[in-house]
Amino acid sequence: MKNKKGFTIPIILAVVFALLFIALILIVKTVNVAAVGPAGTEVGLSAVNSAVHDRFGYDALFEKISKYIGYAAILVVALCAVLALVQLIKRKSILKIDGELLALGGVFAITAGLYALFEVAVVNFRPVLEEGQTFPEASFPSSHAMLIAVVFIATAVFVHKHLLADKPVLRNIIVFALSLIGVTGVFCRFFSGVHWLSDIIGGILVSLALIFLYYAIVRLIESRRAA
């Protein structure tokens, strides 16, 4: 019963956050839509988004920090891929790679797919023009916030549940560091001013859906391994 509950709660939370994300898309596309963005682009929840953006504005330092954290997230993905490759070479079968690691790769793949999808299926455009641009880029959800949160926090879950069981102090330090970097990256993306508030919230919601999905899968693997 305990193992079943350990899987059920996170999968329910994953679904709830996914539904909230979808609801936010509908709200952004239909509520208080006005041409308040650069080049006359229309923005949903324009009053709130404009007020928040006017309050904080653009900050080049926070944008630079968030970009570097984004690069670090890509490095973490690469390290996880190397770990999976090492296991594949040693065990000679993809089915023998640790389930938690395969699931982590799957969540990373979904994140990349969503990243690409919302570059094409545009919900909102950015509140600022980058240097040399005449038209703003797509901005919903904040793909940087989504990438950073999913990679660092899901990897923290992987480390906590699957690695360094014999070195709990080191494990907890790594988990704390990964989680802190993930949260910091999201905050930096918000304060950079290159996204509307609704973009950041959208990035957080979809990230939470994916993180809880990964956690649910890990708990399911654990329960089957213990059976």
pLDDT tens digits for range 187-213? 999 999 999 999 999 999 999 999 999
How many domains is the chain partitioned into structurally?
1
The answer to whether 101 and 170 have CB atoms below 8 angstroms apart is: no
Arithmetic mean of pLDDT, 164-173:
91
pLDDT of residue 200: 96
Check: CB of residue 70 under 8 Å from CB of residue 185: yes
pLDDT surpassing 50 at residue 147: yes
Q: Is the pLDDT of residue 25 over 80?
A: yes
CA distance 129 to 8: 44
d(CA 227, CA 205): 33
Confidence class for position 151, pLDDT limits 50, 70, 90: very high
Q: What is the mean pLDDT of residues 105-122?
A: 94
Range 45-60 average pLDDT = 93
For 79-111, the pLDDT digits (tens) are 999 999 999 999 988 888 899 999 999 999 999
Q: Which residues of 54-78 are buried (b: 16+ CB within 10 A; e: fewer)?
A: eeeeeeeebbebbbebbeebeebbe
Q: Residue 154 pLDDT more than 60?
A: yes
Average predicted confidence (pLDDT) for the chain: 92
pLDDT cut 70: percent of the chain above it? 97
Backbone φ and ψ for 34, nearest 5 degrees, come out as -150, 155
What are the pLDDT digits (tens) for 130-141? 777 788 888 999
Q: What is the pLDDT of residues 27-50, one digit of tens each?
A: 999 999 999 988 889 999 999 999
Q: What is the pTM of this model?
A: 0.91
Please tell me the predicted confidence (pLDDT) of residue 40. Answer: 87
The answer for residues whose C-beta is within 8 angstroms of residue 173's C-beta and 6 or more apart is: none
State what percent of residues in the chain have pLDDT above 90.
Answer: 75
Q: What is the pLDDT, as a whole number, of residue 1?
A: 44
Can you give the pLDDT at residue 101?
94
| Structural domain that includes position 109 | 2-224
